[in-house]
Structure 1
Amino acid sequence: MPLLKFHMQKGRSHAEIELLLDVAHKAMLSAFNVPVRDRYQLVFEHEPTHLRALDTGLGFERSQKFVLVEVVSRPRQRAEKLAFYQGLAMELEKCCGVPSSDVMVSFVENSDEDWSFGEGTAQFVTGQL
């Protein structure tokens, strides 16, 4: 936890997607200081006509490499979020060739009782995590 959802245009190879997920996981580990096996990622590939992400007037030019990352998580500190934004954008550009202007992130926060990792138990509530 957190759960990362990646929205992108269809067309990336399996190797490109694997690298993107690995890079994002490393950025998350660095920013949130969570265990290495705390890895929950989903990829949603969209037809070009089914994905619109303009720039909210900031002057960014989006490309086919655009990635929207939804982060579903219990509350995080502002500094953690800012570190994640910067680390993710920097590493995706360096390792995957995704321009930082093509990296968009949105957080959706929930609470401890909103998570069950299996066995019908809310591990954050029970103290298992």
Structure 2
Amino acid sequence: MPFIRVSYREDQYAGGELPLISREIHAALMEHFRVPEDDYFQLFHAHKPSEFFYSPNYLNVERTDRLLYIQITLKSGRTVEQKKSFYSELAQRLSKIGIRAEDVFVVLVGTEFEDWTFGNGIAQMLETVREVQPHASED
């Protein structure tokens, strides 16, 4: 159930690159966090150069104007090792399509099942949890 927002400078990426980036993000999510293939919700936000700010060398990482901010909101509970492995895999995948690993900036935002509705005003993930793990009957 991840929700992904990718921000980038509009003068740095062509429209044809965005579907490739999207595909690689989703593939890494499926591999490392076992996200279902059809659990696919992403937004890409282009920014004018005057709206896009970053430190070019914070923590000794040399960034360029092709920096991608990738914010992933997802269910909490992944281990530190899963997260580290995901970061590495995503940087590798994106480097294969011409994006420097140094320009892949990722933030994971953890949420709980009750924080989501996928439409119809229903907390679908709470219903799914109840179906999978019914409450024990009280005596």
| 2:96 equivalent in structure 1 | 94
Matched residue count: 128
Deviations 1:24-56 (A, max 9, x none): 111111111111001110111111121112156
Counterpart CA distance in 2 for 1:19 and 1:29 is: 15
* Structure 1 residue runs without a partner (length 5+): none
Aligned residues of 2:57 and 2:63 also touching (Cα < 8 A): no
* Superposed structure 1 runs of 4+ greater than 4 Å apart: none
Give the drift of 1:57: 3.3
TM-score of the pair, normalised by structure 2: 0.85
2:45 aligned residue: 44
Give the distance between the partners of 1:121 and 1:57, measured in 2 at CA: 42
Q: Which runs of 5+ in 2 are unaligned?
A: 133-139
Match of 1:9 in 2: 9
Taking only the aligned residue pairs, the percentage that are identical comes to 30
Amino acid of the structure 2 residue aligned with 1:13: A
**Which residue of structure 1 aligns with residue 115 of structure 2?**
114
Q: Distance in 2 between matches of 1:121 and 1:44?
A: 27
Report the secondary structure of 1:58's partner residue. Answer: helix
Which residue in 2 is equivalent to 1:81? 83
- Aligned-pair Cα RMSD in Å: 1.6
TM-score (normalised: structure 1): 0.91
Report which of the two structures shows the higher radius of gyration computed on alpha carbons: 2
Corresponding residue of 2:105: 104
* 1:92 Cα deviation from its structure 2 partner: 0.5
Please show how residues 48-87 of structure 1 align to structure 2 within 5 Å: 48-54=49-55, 57-75=58-76, 76-87=78-89
